């Protein structure tokens, strides 16, 4: 009797632990996705800044200001 209760409880806690691990993995995946999205936005912003600076330098050169 005692052994069957102990086995039942251990199975119950193993299920709880596995559900918790699934939640941890999903949270980590969501955090990774958000980080990658932020990195993509930062890269886009950096390239936009570079493009803007290049356009300005070309405009200054066109006007002879260098």
Q: What is the pLDDT of residues 17-66, one digit of tens each?
A: 999 999 999 999 999 999 999 988 888 888 888 888 888 887 777 666 55
Amino acid 65: pLDDT? 59
Q: What is the pLDDT of residues 25-36, one digit of tens each?
A: 999 999 999 999
**DSSP structure string for 4-21:** HHHHHHHHHHHHHHHHHH
Query: Is the overall model pTM greater than 0.75, yes or no?
Result: no
Query: In angstroms, rounded to a whole number, what is the distance separating the alpha carbons of residues 66 and 28?
Result: 50
């Amino acid at each position: 009797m005692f052994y069957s209760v102990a086995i039942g409880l251990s199975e119950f806690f193993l299920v709880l632990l596995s559900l918790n691990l699934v939640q941890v993995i999903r949270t980590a995946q969501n955090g990774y996705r958000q980080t990658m999205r932020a990195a993509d936005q930062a890269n886009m912003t950096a390239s936009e800044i570079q493009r803007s600076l290049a356009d300005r330098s070309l405009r200054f050169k066109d006007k002879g200001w260098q």
